[in-house]
């Protein structure tokens, strides 16, 4: 329980979440959910054995994200980045959290960080290009840059991004 409260306190402060009462209610809810979730329990056990494995923190963050536990997911992704400075998948996870929390500037910044760390990943470039075509992020030049990079890679994903950009 102490670990949950500590994580929730720091993540809630960082994310600007509600009052102490809300934090405690969320901690109780998570504590009630977690024991029944064997997948999370399995990763806790793995983390006990290898607390400095960034991939375990990443996977736990992805599980939290799937369950809508955004504060815990963010902490896990940030821990993964703390253990491995260049970790594009952790940036992708943070971008997804910011999307769910409707924080478009942070969402875009994390997606750009993911692409900067893995410039040869066509999936990430496609996601960034699509993101740049959405109204809240619209930047045609940035989208076109991703399109051109996909073309240079000879990725079939270039056609998908090109269609979204109206470049058929």
Domain ranges of the chain: 2-114, 119-168
- CA–CA dist 155, 167 (Å, integer): 15
Find the mean pLDDT for residues 105-132: 97
- Give 100's pLDDT tier (boundaries 50, 70, 90): very high
What does each C-alpha distance from 88 to 16, 26, 85, 139 come to in angstroms? 25, 29, 9, 22
The region of weakest confidence among 10-14, 73-77, 118-122 is: 10-14
Separation between Cα atoms, residue 63 and residue 137, nearest integer Å: 27
Least trusted range by pLDDT, from 46-50, 82-86, 90-94, 143-147: 46-50
Cα gap 81→76, rounded to integer Å: 9
> Out of 26-35, 97-106, 132-141, 145-154, which region has the weakest mean confidence (pLDDT)?
26-35
Range of lowest pLDDT (29-43, 62-76, 121-135): 29-43
Longest distance between any two alpha carbons in the chain, whole Å: 56
Asked if 45 and 51 count as a contact pair (C-beta separation under 8 A), the reply is no
26 touches 71 (CB < 8 A): yes
Tell me, yes or no, if the pTM score tops 0.85: no
Determine the pLDDT at residue 33.
Answer: 58
So what's the pLDDT on residue 106? 97
Residue 123 has pLDDT above 70, yes or no: yes
Q: Which CATH architecture has domain 2-114?
A: Alpha Horseshoe (1.25)
CA angle 155, 89, 97 (to 5 degrees): 115
Residues 6+ apart with CB under 8 A from 92: 110, 111, 114, 124, 127
Contacting residues for 78 by C-beta, under 8 A, at least 6 apart: 90, 94
pLDDT of residue 30: 64
In the predicted structure, residue 94 carries a pLDDT above the cut 60? yes
Q: What is the pLDDT of residues 1-48, one digit of tens each?
A: 344 433 444 444 444 444 566 665 666 666 665 444 688 888 888 888
Model pLDDT, residue 7: 44
Cα torsion 63, 66, 69, 75: sign: positive
């Amino acid at each position: 329980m102490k670990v949950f409260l500590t994580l929730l306190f720091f993540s809630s402060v960082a994310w600007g979440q509600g009052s102490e009462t809300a934090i405690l209610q969320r901690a109780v809810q998570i504590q009630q959910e977690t024991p029944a979730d064997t997948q999370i329990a399995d990763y806790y056990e793995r983390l006990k054995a290898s607390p400095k494995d960034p991939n375990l923190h990443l996977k736990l963050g992805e599980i939290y994200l799937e369950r809508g536990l955004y504060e815990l997911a963010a902490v896990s992704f940030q821990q993964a980045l703390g253990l491995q400075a260049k970790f594009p998948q952790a940036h992708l996870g943070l971008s997804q959290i910011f999307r769910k929390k409707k924080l478009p500037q942070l969402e875009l910044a994390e997606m750009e960080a993911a692409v900067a760390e893995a410039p040869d990943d066509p999936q990430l470039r496609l996601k960034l290009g699509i993101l740049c075509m959405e109204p809240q992020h619209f930047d045609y030049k940035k989208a076109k840059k991703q399109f051109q990079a996909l073309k240079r890679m000879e990725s079939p994903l270039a056609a998908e991004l090109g269609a979204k950009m109206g470049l058929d």
